Amino acid sequence: MSTDTQRLKVLSAGIFSLILMLGIGRFAYTPLLPVMQQQQVLGIAEGGWLAAINYGGYLCGAILAAMIGDLVVKDRLYRGSLVLALLTTVGMGLTENIWLWAVLRFFAGLASAGGLLIGSGLILNWLIRHGHRSELGIHISGMGLGISLCALAVELMSPWFDWRGQWLLFSLIGGLILIPAWRWLPSPDRSQLNHNGPQMQDNPPGRLFLRLFMAAYFCAGVGYAVSATFIVAIVEQLPGQAGNGALAFIVVGVAAAPACILWDLIARRIGNINALSSAYLLQILSLLLPVMIPGLSTSLIGAALFGATFIGIVSLVLTMAGRYYPSRPARMMGVMTISYGIAQIIAPALTGLLAEHYGSYDAAIWLAIIMMAAGSLLTLPLGILERRKRQPRGTSTAALRATT
Protein backbone atom coordinates (compact mmCIF):
# COMPACT_ATOMS: atom_id res chain seq x y z
CA MET A 1 0.00 0.00 0.00
CA SER A 2 1.38 3.43 -0.95
CA THR A 3 2.07 6.01 1.76
CA ASP A 4 -0.59 8.37 0.35
CA THR A 5 -3.21 5.61 0.34
CA GLN A 6 -2.34 4.66 3.91
CA ARG A 7 -2.50 8.32 4.95
CA LEU A 8 -5.97 8.59 3.39
CA LYS A 9 -7.18 5.49 5.27
CA VAL A 10 -5.76 6.72 8.59
CA LEU A 11 -7.37 10.15 8.20
CA SER A 12 -10.65 8.51 7.12
CA ALA A 13 -10.56 6.35 10.25
CA GLY A 14 -10.22 9.51 12.28
CA ILE A 15 -13.09 11.21 10.47
CA PHE A 16 -15.40 8.22 11.00
CA SER A 17 -14.38 7.97 14.65
CA LEU A 18 -15.32 11.60 15.24
CA ILE A 19 -18.64 11.21 13.42
CA LEU A 20 -19.46 8.35 15.80
CA MET A 21 -17.93 9.52 19.10
CA LEU A 22 -18.51 13.27 18.72
CA GLY A 23 -21.24 13.62 16.11
CA ILE A 24 -23.59 10.84 17.21
CA GLY A 25 -22.42 9.99 20.73
CA ARG A 26 -22.19 13.58 21.88
CA PHE A 27 -23.84 16.06 19.49
CA ALA A 28 -26.98 14.14 18.48
CA TYR A 29 -28.25 15.30 21.88
CA THR A 30 -28.31 18.95 20.73
CA PRO A 31 -30.91 18.67 17.91
CA LEU A 32 -32.78 15.96 19.88
CA LEU A 33 -33.01 18.16 23.00
CA PRO A 34 -35.93 20.29 21.69
CA VAL A 35 -37.64 17.12 20.42
CA MET A 36 -37.39 15.51 23.86
CA GLN A 37 -38.62 18.73 25.47
CA GLN A 38 -41.58 19.04 23.08
CA GLN A 39 -42.53 15.42 23.75
CA GLN A 40 -42.36 16.22 27.48
CA VAL A 41 -39.73 13.69 28.52
CA LEU A 42 -37.15 16.33 29.49
CA GLY A 43 -37.31 19.82 31.03
CA ILE A 44 -35.12 22.85 30.29
CA ALA A 45 -33.07 22.71 33.50
CA GLU A 46 -32.74 18.91 33.29
CA GLY A 47 -31.49 19.30 29.71
CA GLY A 48 -28.78 21.65 30.96
CA TRP A 49 -27.73 19.29 33.74
CA LEU A 50 -27.48 16.34 31.36
CA ALA A 51 -25.26 18.42 29.07
CA ALA A 52 -23.07 19.38 32.04
CA ILE A 53 -22.78 15.72 33.07
CA ASN A 54 -21.79 14.83 29.50
CA TYR A 55 -19.02 17.42 29.65
CA GLY A 56 -18.03 16.00 33.04
CA GLY A 57 -17.41 12.67 31.36
CA TYR A 58 -15.40 14.45 28.69
CA LEU A 59 -13.28 16.12 31.39
CA CYS A 60 -12.57 12.75 33.02
CA GLY A 61 -11.52 11.44 29.62
CA ALA A 62 -9.19 14.41 29.19
CA ILE A 63 -7.56 13.72 32.57
CA LEU A 64 -7.14 10.06 31.58
CA ALA A 65 -5.58 11.05 28.24
CA ALA A 66 -3.11 13.35 30.02
CA MET A 67 -2.08 10.63 32.49
CA ILE A 68 -1.47 7.75 30.09
CA GLY A 69 1.69 7.79 27.99
CA ASP A 70 1.77 4.27 26.53
CA LEU A 71 0.57 4.34 22.91
CA VAL A 72 -0.63 0.73 23.01
CA VAL A 73 -2.85 1.49 26.01
CA LYS A 74 -4.16 4.57 24.22
CA ASP A 75 -4.94 2.50 21.14
CA ARG A 76 -7.00 0.13 23.31
CA LEU A 77 -8.80 3.08 24.90
CA TYR A 78 -9.55 4.52 21.46
CA ARG A 79 -11.16 1.26 20.33
CA GLY A 80 -13.00 0.86 23.61
CA SER A 81 -14.34 4.40 23.22
CA LEU A 82 -15.81 3.50 19.82
CA VAL A 83 -17.81 0.69 21.40
CA LEU A 84 -18.77 2.82 24.41
CA ALA A 85 -20.08 5.64 22.19
CA LEU A 86 -22.31 3.14 20.37
CA LEU A 87 -23.64 1.52 23.56
CA THR A 88 -24.49 4.85 25.22
CA THR A 89 -26.39 5.93 22.11
CA VAL A 90 -28.43 2.71 22.18
CA GLY A 91 -29.11 3.22 25.89
CA MET A 92 -30.56 6.71 25.39
CA GLY A 93 -33.40 5.18 23.39
CA LEU A 94 -34.13 2.38 25.84
CA THR A 95 -35.05 4.33 28.98
CA GLU A 96 -36.84 7.44 30.25
CA ASN A 97 -35.12 7.41 33.63
CA ILE A 98 -33.29 10.72 34.19
CA TRP A 99 -30.66 9.04 36.39
CA LEU A 100 -29.86 6.42 33.77
CA TRP A 101 -29.69 9.17 31.16
CA ALA A 102 -27.20 10.98 33.41
CA VAL A 103 -25.00 7.86 33.56
CA LEU A 104 -25.24 7.37 29.80
CA ARG A 105 -24.40 11.01 29.03
CA PHE A 106 -21.39 10.82 31.36
CA PHE A 107 -19.98 7.78 29.55
CA ALA A 108 -20.82 9.30 26.16
CA GLY A 109 -18.67 12.27 27.20
CA LEU A 110 -15.91 9.91 28.29
CA ALA A 111 -16.04 8.19 24.91
CA SER A 112 -15.94 11.50 23.04
CA ALA A 113 -12.62 12.31 24.73
CA GLY A 114 -11.35 9.01 23.39
CA GLY A 115 -12.15 10.18 19.88
CA LEU A 116 -11.03 13.78 20.04
CA LEU A 117 -7.97 13.49 22.30
CA ILE A 118 -6.67 9.93 22.20
CA GLY A 119 -7.67 9.40 18.57
CA SER A 120 -6.21 12.76 17.51
CA GLY A 121 -3.02 11.99 19.40
CA LEU A 122 -2.63 8.61 17.70
CA ILE A 123 -3.28 10.09 14.27
CA LEU A 124 -0.93 13.05 14.78
CA ASN A 125 1.77 10.68 16.02
CA TRP A 126 1.30 8.56 12.87
CA LEU A 127 1.45 11.64 10.59
CA ILE A 128 4.65 12.96 12.20
CA ARG A 129 6.28 9.53 12.20
CA HIS A 130 5.58 9.03 8.49
CA GLY A 131 6.76 12.47 7.40
CA HIS A 132 3.37 14.13 6.75
CA ARG A 133 2.35 17.62 7.86
CA SER A 134 1.58 17.76 11.58
CA GLU A 135 -1.90 19.20 11.03
CA LEU A 136 -5.23 17.86 12.28
CA GLY A 137 -7.61 19.86 10.11
CA ILE A 138 -8.69 16.97 7.87
CA HIS A 139 -9.14 14.63 10.84
CA ILE A 140 -11.14 17.11 12.93
CA SER A 141 -13.44 17.86 9.99
CA GLY A 142 -15.17 14.67 11.14
CA MET A 143 -16.62 16.65 14.03
CA GLY A 144 -18.28 19.13 11.68
CA LEU A 145 -19.53 16.34 9.42
CA GLY A 146 -20.98 14.57 12.45
CA ILE A 147 -22.78 17.71 13.62
CA SER A 148 -24.31 18.44 10.22
CA LEU A 149 -25.30 14.81 9.59
CA CYS A 150 -26.96 14.53 13.01
CA ALA A 151 -28.88 17.77 12.57
CA LEU A 152 -30.02 16.77 9.09
CA ALA A 153 -30.98 13.30 10.30
CA VAL A 154 -33.14 14.71 13.12
CA GLU A 155 -34.82 17.07 10.65
CA LEU A 156 -35.63 14.17 8.33
CA MET A 157 -36.61 11.67 11.04
CA SER A 158 -38.78 13.91 13.25
CA PRO A 159 -41.96 13.66 11.12
CA TRP A 160 -41.74 9.85 11.22
CA PHE A 161 -40.12 8.84 14.50
CA ASP A 162 -40.40 9.93 18.12
CA TRP A 163 -37.34 10.79 20.23
CA ARG A 164 -36.82 7.13 21.17
CA GLY A 165 -36.88 5.89 17.58
CA GLN A 166 -34.38 8.56 16.55
CA TRP A 167 -31.85 7.53 19.20
CA LEU A 168 -32.14 3.91 18.04
CA LEU A 169 -31.70 4.86 14.38
CA PHE A 170 -28.60 6.84 15.31
CA SER A 171 -27.35 3.65 16.96
CA LEU A 172 -27.77 1.74 13.71
CA ILE A 173 -25.85 4.39 11.78
CA GLY A 174 -23.15 4.39 14.45
CA GLY A 175 -22.72 0.62 14.20
CA LEU A 176 -21.94 0.94 10.49
CA ILE A 177 -19.49 3.81 11.03
CA LEU A 178 -17.64 1.92 13.76
CA ILE A 179 -16.25 -0.64 11.27
CA PRO A 180 -13.91 1.64 9.23
CA ALA A 181 -13.08 3.72 12.33
CA TRP A 182 -11.77 0.53 13.96
CA ARG A 183 -10.13 -1.22 11.01
CA TRP A 184 -8.40 1.64 9.18
CA LEU A 185 -6.31 2.97 12.08
CA PRO A 186 -3.18 0.81 12.40
CA SER A 187 -1.74 -0.24 15.73
CA PRO A 188 0.77 2.36 16.99
CA ASP A 189 4.55 2.13 16.79
CA ARG A 190 6.04 2.77 20.24
CA SER A 191 9.55 3.60 19.02
CA GLN A 192 10.85 7.18 19.15
CA LEU A 193 11.96 7.07 15.49
CA ASN A 194 10.13 8.56 12.55
CA HIS A 195 10.34 7.19 9.01
CA ASN A 196 13.67 8.97 8.39
CA GLY A 197 15.27 7.67 11.57
CA PRO A 198 15.95 10.66 13.89
CA GLN A 199 14.36 10.70 17.30
CA MET A 200 11.28 12.85 17.81
CA GLN A 201 12.02 15.50 20.43
CA ASP A 202 9.42 17.07 22.71
CA ASN A 203 9.58 20.86 23.03
CA PRO A 204 7.25 21.84 25.90
CA PRO A 205 6.19 25.48 26.40
CA GLY A 206 7.04 27.56 29.47
CA ARG A 207 4.82 27.63 32.56
CA LEU A 208 3.47 31.16 31.99
CA PHE A 209 2.62 30.33 28.38
CA LEU A 210 0.81 27.17 29.45
CA ARG A 211 -1.20 28.97 32.15
CA LEU A 212 -2.31 31.72 29.78
CA PHE A 213 -3.03 29.15 27.09
CA MET A 214 -5.22 27.13 29.47
CA ALA A 215 -7.05 30.25 30.67
CA ALA A 216 -7.79 31.32 27.09
CA TYR A 217 -9.01 27.82 26.25
CA PHE A 218 -11.25 27.85 29.34
CA CYS A 219 -12.93 30.99 27.98
CA ALA A 220 -13.37 29.29 24.61
CA GLY A 221 -14.93 26.33 26.41
CA VAL A 222 -17.64 28.56 27.87
CA GLY A 223 -18.41 30.13 24.49
CA TYR A 224 -18.48 26.74 22.84
CA ALA A 225 -20.59 24.98 25.47
CA VAL A 226 -23.33 27.63 25.49
CA SER A 227 -23.72 27.68 21.72
CA ALA A 228 -23.03 24.04 20.85
CA THR A 229 -25.44 22.67 23.45
CA PHE A 230 -28.28 25.16 23.11
CA ILE A 231 -28.02 26.69 19.63
CA VAL A 232 -31.12 24.90 18.38
CA ALA A 233 -33.18 26.04 21.38
CA ILE A 234 -31.65 29.56 21.26
CA VAL A 235 -32.57 30.09 17.60
CA GLU A 236 -36.06 28.66 18.18
CA GLN A 237 -36.67 31.34 20.83
CA LEU A 238 -35.53 34.30 18.70
CA PRO A 239 -38.40 36.44 17.33
CA GLY A 240 -39.82 34.87 14.19
CA GLN A 241 -37.32 31.97 14.18
CA ALA A 242 -39.52 29.12 15.43
CA GLY A 243 -38.80 26.06 13.32
CA ASN A 244 -35.36 27.23 12.18
CA GLY A 245 -33.28 25.81 15.03
CA ALA A 246 -32.43 22.56 13.27
CA LEU A 247 -31.48 24.48 10.12
CA ALA A 248 -29.06 26.59 12.15
CA PHE A 249 -27.44 23.46 13.58
CA ILE A 250 -27.06 21.99 10.10
CA VAL A 251 -25.31 25.20 9.04
CA VAL A 252 -22.99 24.90 12.06
CA GLY A 253 -21.88 21.45 10.95
CA VAL A 254 -21.61 22.30 7.25
CA ALA A 255 -19.43 25.31 8.07
CA ALA A 256 -17.33 23.35 10.56
CA ALA A 257 -16.46 20.47 8.22
CA PRO A 258 -14.11 22.35 5.85
CA ALA A 259 -13.20 25.13 8.29
CA CYS A 260 -10.48 23.29 10.20
CA ILE A 261 -8.64 22.67 6.92
CA LEU A 262 -8.97 26.39 6.14
CA TRP A 263 -7.59 27.29 9.59
CA ASP A 264 -4.57 25.07 8.88
CA LEU A 265 -3.90 27.16 5.75
CA ILE A 266 -4.42 30.42 7.66
CA ALA A 267 -2.04 29.28 10.41
CA ARG A 268 0.65 28.52 7.81
CA ARG A 269 0.48 32.16 6.64
CA ILE A 270 0.04 34.14 9.86
CA GLY A 271 1.08 31.66 12.55
CA ASN A 272 -0.95 29.51 14.95
CA ILE A 273 -1.40 32.14 17.65
CA ASN A 274 -2.52 34.91 15.28
CA ALA A 275 -4.93 32.46 13.68
CA LEU A 276 -6.23 31.54 17.15
CA SER A 277 -6.81 35.22 18.05
CA SER A 278 -8.70 35.73 14.79
CA ALA A 279 -10.93 32.75 15.50
CA TYR A 280 -11.84 34.15 18.94
CA LEU A 281 -12.85 37.52 17.46
CA LEU A 282 -14.95 35.92 14.72
CA GLN A 283 -16.72 33.73 17.28
CA ILE A 284 -17.67 36.84 19.27
CA LEU A 285 -19.21 38.19 16.06
CA SER A 286 -21.11 34.91 15.60
CA LEU A 287 -22.72 35.37 19.02
CA LEU A 288 -23.50 39.07 18.55
CA LEU A 289 -25.11 38.93 15.11
CA PRO A 290 -28.40 37.12 15.92
CA VAL A 291 -28.85 39.19 19.11
CA MET A 292 -28.14 42.60 17.60
CA ILE A 293 -29.84 42.04 14.23
CA PRO A 294 -32.62 39.43 14.66
CA GLY A 295 -33.56 37.58 11.50
CA LEU A 296 -33.11 34.30 9.68
CA SER A 297 -30.15 35.46 7.58
CA THR A 298 -28.17 36.80 10.55
CA SER A 299 -28.97 33.67 12.59
CA LEU A 300 -27.60 31.47 9.81
CA ILE A 301 -24.54 33.69 9.29
CA GLY A 302 -23.93 33.55 13.04
CA ALA A 303 -24.32 29.76 13.00
CA ALA A 304 -21.86 29.47 10.10
CA LEU A 305 -19.31 31.68 11.86
CA PHE A 306 -19.72 29.71 15.07
CA GLY A 307 -19.21 26.39 13.29
CA ALA A 308 -16.17 27.69 11.44
CA THR A 309 -14.55 29.21 14.54
CA PHE A 310 -15.19 26.81 17.40
CA ILE A 311 -13.78 23.91 15.41
CA GLY A 312 -10.88 26.09 14.26
CA ILE A 313 -10.01 26.90 17.87
CA VAL A 314 -10.09 23.23 18.84
CA SER A 315 -8.05 22.18 15.81
CA LEU A 316 -5.40 24.89 16.31
CA VAL A 317 -5.03 24.21 20.04
CA LEU A 318 -4.74 20.44 19.61
CA THR A 319 -2.29 20.85 16.73
CA MET A 320 -0.12 23.20 18.80
CA ALA A 321 -0.23 20.79 21.73
CA GLY A 322 0.82 17.92 19.50
CA ARG A 323 3.75 19.88 18.12
CA TYR A 324 5.03 20.59 21.63
CA TYR A 325 4.88 16.86 22.41
CA PRO A 326 5.31 14.96 19.10
CA SER A 327 6.28 11.70 20.84
CA ARG A 328 3.15 11.74 23.06
CA PRO A 329 0.70 14.27 21.60
CA ALA A 330 -2.26 13.35 23.83
CA ARG A 331 -0.33 14.50 26.92
CA MET A 332 -0.73 18.24 26.39
CA MET A 333 -3.99 17.74 24.48
CA GLY A 334 -5.40 16.23 27.67
CA VAL A 335 -3.99 19.01 29.87
CA MET A 336 -5.51 21.71 27.65
CA THR A 337 -8.82 19.92 27.49
CA ILE A 338 -9.05 19.75 31.27
CA SER A 339 -9.35 23.55 31.19
CA TYR A 340 -11.83 23.40 28.29
CA GLY A 341 -13.76 20.60 29.99
CA ILE A 342 -14.22 22.46 33.28
CA ALA A 343 -15.82 25.30 31.34
CA GLN A 344 -18.07 22.81 29.57
CA ILE A 345 -19.35 21.48 32.89
CA ILE A 346 -20.11 24.90 34.36
CA ALA A 347 -21.56 26.63 31.28
CA PRO A 348 -24.44 24.28 30.29
CA ALA A 349 -25.76 23.93 33.84
CA LEU A 350 -25.56 27.71 34.34
CA THR A 351 -27.20 28.29 30.95
CA GLY A 352 -30.12 26.03 31.83
CA LEU A 353 -30.64 27.82 35.15
CA LEU A 354 -30.39 31.29 33.58
CA ALA A 355 -32.79 30.34 30.79
CA GLU A 356 -35.31 28.94 33.26
CA HIS A 357 -35.02 32.02 35.51
CA TYR A 358 -35.23 34.72 32.80
CA GLY A 359 -37.37 32.84 30.31
CA SER A 360 -34.78 33.22 27.52
CA TYR A 361 -31.18 32.46 26.66
CA ASP A 362 -30.11 36.13 26.39
CA ALA A 363 -28.17 36.21 29.66
CA ALA A 364 -26.25 33.06 28.72
CA ILE A 365 -25.39 34.48 25.30
CA TRP A 366 -23.93 37.63 26.88
CA LEU A 367 -21.98 35.47 29.31
CA ALA A 368 -20.47 33.61 26.34
CA ILE A 369 -19.63 36.90 24.60
CA ILE A 370 -17.85 38.28 27.67
CA MET A 371 -15.85 35.07 28.16
CA MET A 372 -14.81 34.92 24.51
CA ALA A 373 -13.67 38.56 24.69
CA ALA A 374 -11.58 37.73 27.75
CA GLY A 375 -10.12 34.73 25.92
CA SER A 376 -9.15 36.84 22.91
CA LEU A 377 -7.26 39.23 25.20
CA LEU A 378 -5.44 36.30 26.81
CA THR A 379 -4.12 35.16 23.42
CA LEU A 380 -2.24 38.44 22.91
CA PRO A 381 0.70 37.76 25.26
CA LEU A 382 1.06 34.21 23.89
CA GLY A 383 2.67 35.52 20.71
CA ILE A 384 5.18 37.56 22.70
CA LEU A 385 6.10 34.57 24.86
CA GLU A 386 6.43 32.35 21.79
CA ARG A 387 8.78 34.79 20.08
CA ARG A 388 10.85 35.12 23.25
CA LYS A 389 11.22 31.36 23.40
CA ARG A 390 12.55 31.29 19.83
CA GLN A 391 14.83 34.30 20.44
CA PRO A 392 18.51 33.30 20.66
CA ARG A 393 20.25 34.31 23.85
CA GLY A 394 21.93 37.67 23.54
CA THR A 395 19.48 39.00 20.96
CA SER A 396 18.39 42.52 21.88
CA THR A 397 14.79 43.54 22.38
CA ALA A 398 15.12 46.05 19.54
CA ALA A 399 16.38 43.32 17.23
CA LEU A 400 13.44 41.13 18.26
CA ARG A 401 10.98 43.91 17.44
CA ALA A 402 12.68 44.40 14.09
CA THR A 403 12.11 40.76 13.19
CA THR A 404 8.42 40.87 14.10
The string of DSSP letters for 145-212 reads: HHHHHHHHHHHHHTTT--HHHHHHHHHHHHHHHHHHHHHSSPPPP-SSB-TTSPBP---PPPHHHHHH
Give domain limits for the chain.
3-184+204-391
What is the rounded average pLDDT for all residues in the chain?
82
**Mean pLDDT in residue range 16-24:** 92
The string of DSSP letters for 33-71 reads: HHHHHHTTSS-HHHHHHHHHHHHHHHHHHHHHHHH---H
Q: Could you tell me which residues are beta bridge partners of residue 148?
A: none
Which of residues 209 and 126 earns the better pLDDT score?
209
Residue 174, judged by CB atoms within 10 A of its CB (0-12, 13-18, 19+), counts as: buried
pLDDT higher than 50, residue 119: yes
CATH topology classification for 3-184+204-391: Growth Hormone; Chain: A; (1.20.1250)
Q: Could you tell me which residues are beta bridge partners of residue 193?
A: 199
Rounded-to-integer distance, Cα 141 and Cα 167, Å:
23
**Mean pLDDT in residue range 103-108:** 94
CB neighbours of residue 158 within 10 Å: 18
At 175, the pLDDT band (50, 70, 90 cuts) reads very high
pLDDT higher than 80, residue 129: no
Instruction: Give the pLDDT of residue 9.
Output: 87
At 144, the pLDDT band (50, 70, 90 cuts) reads confident
At 4, the amino acid letter reads D
pLDDT, one tens digit per residue, over 265-278 is 898 899 889 999 99
Instruction: Give the pLDDT of residue 102.
Output: 93
Classify residue 392 by its DSSP letter. Answer: P
pLDDT higher than 70, residue 109: yes
User: Closest Cα to residue 65, out of 13, 119, 109?
Assistant: 119
pLDDT higher than 70, residue 143: yes
At 192, the pLDDT band (50, 70, 90 cuts) reads low
**Is the pTM for the entire model greater than 0.85?**
no
